[in-house]
Amino acid sequence: MTKIPYKTYLSENELPKAWYNVRADMKEQHAPMLHPGTLQPVSVADLEPVFCTELAKQELDETNRYIEIPEEIRNFYKMYRPSPLVRAYCLEEALGTPAHIYYKFEGNNTSGSHKLNSAIAQAYYAKEQGLKSLTTETGAGQWGTALSMACGYFGLDLRVYMVKVSAQQKPYRKAVMETYGATVIPSPSDTTEAGRKILAEFPDTNGSLGCAISEAVEAAVATDKCRYVLGSVLNQVLLHQSIIGLESKAAMEKLEEYPDVIIGCAGGGSNLGGLIAPFMGDKLTGKANPYFIAVEPASCPSLTRGVYGYDFCDTGKVTPLAKMYTLGSGFMPSSNHAGGLRYHGMSPIVSKLYHDGYLDEARAVEQTKVFEAATQFAKVEGILPAPESAHAIRVAIDEALACKETGEEKTILFGLTGTGYFDMAAYMAFHEGSMADYIPTDAELQKGFAGMPKID
C-alpha cells in the first residue's frame, strides 16, 4: 500500500477562539518602538494617524495573554480554517528517515498563503472603525493578494505598492489583485514624495519592501478615512498569525505528538512568529523545550549576518524605529526568487527571542538548494510550495537526513506557508539550470549598517 500524506483536520468547533500573545509570557519585553521625530517610545495616540486604533492597541499590548477573535473574523476563518496539519509520510519514505515530519499547510485558501489570517483581521478592524480605504505594500504578492481579497470582502478600497521587480516578474500577481478590486502601483512610484526621492537618487532601482512601505505610509496619512496596514514584522501581525501555532499544537496533541524541532521560514517573521508562538509559550513557562530554527535566504540574512539594533522599518525613514535584527533600512536585497523574504529587518519579537536564546538557531540557505528541496517535495507530497515556504522544507529535509544518520526518531514540524503557482518563472529557471545564488559581501552589508541611526 502506497503511503499518503496524512492530514489531521481539527473540527470547526476546535477553531481557536482567541489569539495568543506570546509577549505576555516573555521574560523580558523587546525594546519599545520609538517615534521617528522624538525618539520617545510610541503611544497608541502616536500610532493612530497611521494604524487602525484597535490594531495600534494590539501592537502595544504586553499583558493580555489571549485576545478574543471577533466573531466576524472567526466566521471568515471558517471558510478555510482549521487548516490541515499533514504528516509527510511520502517525504519520510523518500528520505528513508526515522523522523516524523509534519507540516502545517497554510496554502489551502484561495489567496494561497498564511497572509490571509492577518489580512482579514486588519480589514475587519478598519471596517469597524468606519474607514473607507487602506494602503499597503507587497513583495512577492502574497500579502497583497490576501489583503485584496479581504478588502473586497469588506468593501474597502485598497492601494497596493508592489516592489517594482516583483511587479515586473509577476504581472499575473498584479492581475489577481486587480481582479479582487485593488489598485496596484509598482514601487518606487511618482505618486509619493518618498517614491520620487528614491527614484531621483536611484532611477534604476528594483525597489524594496522598505521603500514600498514608505510610499504606502505616506499615501495613507495623506488620504481621508484611510490607514496603512502591514503584512509582517509587527506585533499585531504575529498575534493574528498565532492561529497557525495554536491549531498546530492542538492537532499534534490529538496525535499524541509534540515537536522536537520547529522550523519556519523568516522574512519579516509573520509566519515563523505565528507558528512558534504557543510552543515558545511552553518553552518560556518551562512546560517543554522544543528546538526552534528560523530559515532565511543567504541573499538577505538579517538574523545570521545582521546587527541587533534600532532601525527604521522603511527606506524613507518615515516609520517608527524598532529594535530588531537588521541589515539596515538602506540595504537593497538582490532580486532572488523568494520575494517574501527580501526584507532588511526582522520582527522585534522574533529578534528579541533570538537574541535571548529562546529561538535557538537561524540558518541561511541558498536558493538553488531551496528549489532542489521544493521540487523533491512537490513530487512526493503533491503540493507545489512557494519559494518562501521551500526555505523551511530545505531545513526540514536536512534535519530529517541528520536523523537518518543518527537513527533519532525526532518529530519535526515546519510551516508550509503557501503555494508557488505564481512562482513558475523561478521553477523554470531552476529546471533550466539558470538560477544563480547570491550572497552579499561583508562590504555590501557594512554599507547597509552604516546608514542605520545611532541609538542604543
Residue 254 to residue 127: CA distance in whole angstroms: 37
Contact (Cβ atoms closer than 8 angstroms) between residue 124 and residue 72:
yes
- Part in contact with a copy of itself (CB under 8 A); list of ranges 107-115, 191-199, 315-323, 407-415: 107-115
Residue in 39, 428, 439, 455 binding a copy of itself, rule: CB under 8 A? 428
CB of 415 to a copy of itself, least distance (A): 17
Contact (Cβ atoms closer than 8 angstroms) between residue 344 and residue 313:
no
Block residue for cell numbers 508592489: 162
- Part in contact with a copy of itself (CB under 8 A); list of ranges 60-68, 234-242, 357-365, 414-422: 414-422
Query: Does position 427 bind a copy of itself by CB under 8 A?
Result: yes
Residue 306 to residue 326: CA distance in whole angstroms: 5
CB of 220 to a copy of itself, least distance (A): 22
| Rounded alpha-carbon distances, angstroms, from residue 455 to 34, 312, 323, 423 | 10, 11, 9, 39
Query: Does position 49 bind a copy of itself by CB under 8 A?
Result: no
Q: Give me 154's grid cell.
A: 469588506
Pairing of strands 18-20, 66-68: antiparallel
Which residue type occupies 113? S
CB of 417 to a copy of itself, least distance (A): 14
Query: Does position 221 bind a copy of itself by CB under 8 A?
Result: no
Which neighbouring-strand residues pair with 102?
A: 87, 413
Query: Does position 171 bind a copy of itself by CB under 8 A?
Result: yes
- The contact mask relative to a copy of itself for 68-97 (x = CB under 8 A, - = no) is ---xx--xx-xx----------x-------
Query: Does position 424 bind a copy of itself by CB under 8 A?
Result: yes
Query: Does position 375 bind a copy of itself by CB under 8 A?
Result: yes
Residue in 18, 255, 284, 378 binding a copy of itself, rule: CB under 8 A? 378
Residue 205: phi, psi to the nearest 5?
Answer: -60, 145
Query: Does position 384 bind a copy of itself by CB under 8 A?
Result: yes
- CB-hemisphere CA count at 13 Å for 342? 33
- Part in contact with a copy of itself (CB under 8 A); list of ranges 1-9, 228-236, 323-331, 355-363: 1-9
C-beta closer to a copy of itself: residue 378 or 402: 378
Query: Does position 289 bind a copy of itself by CB under 8 A?
Result: no
Query: Does position 64 bind a copy of itself by CB under 8 A?
Result: no
Query: Does position 110 bind a copy of itself by CB under 8 A?
Result: yes
Residue in 20, 292, 343, 422 binding a copy of itself, rule: CB under 8 A? 422
Query: Does position 242 bind a copy of itself by CB under 8 A?
Result: no
Residue 75 to residue 121: CA distance in whole angstroms: 11
Number of residues located near a copy of itself, criterion CB under 8 A:
44
Residue in 17, 254, 287, 379 binding a copy of itself, rule: CB under 8 A? 379
CB of 210 to a copy of itself, least distance (A): 27
Q: Give me 311's grid cell.
A: 532601525
Residue 18 to residue 231: CA distance in whole angstroms: 19
CB of 432 to a copy of itself, least distance (A): 10
Binding site for a copy of itself (CB under 8 A): 1-2, 4-5, 7, 71-72, 75-76, 78-79, 90, 107-108, 110-112, 149, 152-154, 171-172, 175-176, 178-181, 375, 378-380, 382-384, 419, 421-422, 424-425, 427-428, 431
